[in-house]
């Protein structure tokens, strides 16, 4: 299982701007009800299915382009149904979690590579697991893995601080990622 973690990928300024937009998005319903297992939940809201309601700030679009170039996926297609402009933001309230799942592949069988940046950490909880292994990430870190190939989840958010995750990525051949044909800059 290949998981790439690049510490401090996003700057403090980017993190602040993204979090401000996410807070505004929650207030304006740009982020709305998410899915938890087989039901809808308001404990984790998302921009994923609501792309017609908003436009992302330039910082999100610039960061998406930087992620795609850095990870070596600029030539690959955006993830189908992935918010707007290939970007999704998730805002998990205390009491919410990310249920155990695998994301779908593309209609033509390409794997789904997600490259995420945590921009706000919960007071406690909200811990990422991939195939049963705890993945330690900090605010600003970029982490990438094949979400269609590996079961993943995040534990329940605790305390008073919501967890905010920005997601970027592409549909790629799994072999290109696993063989490191797709090379992340070092």
In a domain, 12, yes or no: yes
In a domain, 34, yes or no: yes
How many C-alpha atoms does 15 have within 13 Å on its Cβ side? 18
In a domain, 169, yes or no: yes
* pLDDT exceeds cutoff 90 at 82: no
CA distance 8 to 13: 12
* CATH assignment at residue 104: 2.60.120.620
Instruction: Give whole-number Cα distances, 145 to 131, 168, 169, 170, 171, in Å.
Output: 11, 11, 9, 11, 12
In a domain, 125, yes or no: yes
Total domains in the chain come to: 1
CA distance 118 to 141: 7
In a domain, 128, yes or no: yes
State the Cα torsion 185-137-91-183 to the nearest 10°: 20
Does residue 76 or residue 34 have the better pLDDT?
76
Rounded to two decimals, the pTM is 0.95
Q: What pLDDT does 40 receive?
A: 78
88 is in which domain, residue-wise? 4-178
CA distance 33 to 21: 17
pLDDT tens digits, residue range 144-184? 999 999 999 999 999 999 999 999 999 999 999 999 999 99
Q: How confident is the model at residue 186 (pLDDT cuts 50, 70, 90)?
A: confident
In a domain, 80, yes or no: yes
């Amino acid at each position: 299982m290949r998981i790439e973690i690049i510490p401090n990928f996003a700057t403090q300024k980017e993190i602040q701007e993204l979090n401000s937009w996410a807070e505004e998005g929650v207030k304006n319903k740009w982020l709305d009800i998410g899915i938890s297992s087989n039901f809808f939940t308001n404990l984790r809201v998302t921009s994923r299915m609501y792309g017609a309601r908003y436009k992302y700030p330039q910082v999100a679009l610039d960061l998406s382009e930087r992620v795609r170039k850095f990870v070596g996926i600029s030539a690959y297609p955006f993830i189908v149904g992935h918010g707007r402009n290939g970007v999704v933001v998730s805002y998990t309230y205390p009491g919410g979690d990310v249920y155990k799942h695998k994301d779908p592949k593309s209609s033509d069988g390409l794997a789904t590579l997600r490259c995420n940046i945590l921009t706000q950490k919960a007071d406690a909880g909200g811990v990422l697991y991939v195939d049963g292994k705890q993945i330690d990430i900090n605010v600003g870190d970029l982490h990438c893995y094949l979400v269609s190939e590996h079961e993943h989840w995040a534990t329940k958010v605790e305390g008073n601080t919501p967890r905010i995750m920005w997601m970027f990525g592409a549909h790629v051949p799994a072999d290109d990622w696993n063989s490191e044909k797709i090379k992340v800059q070092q």
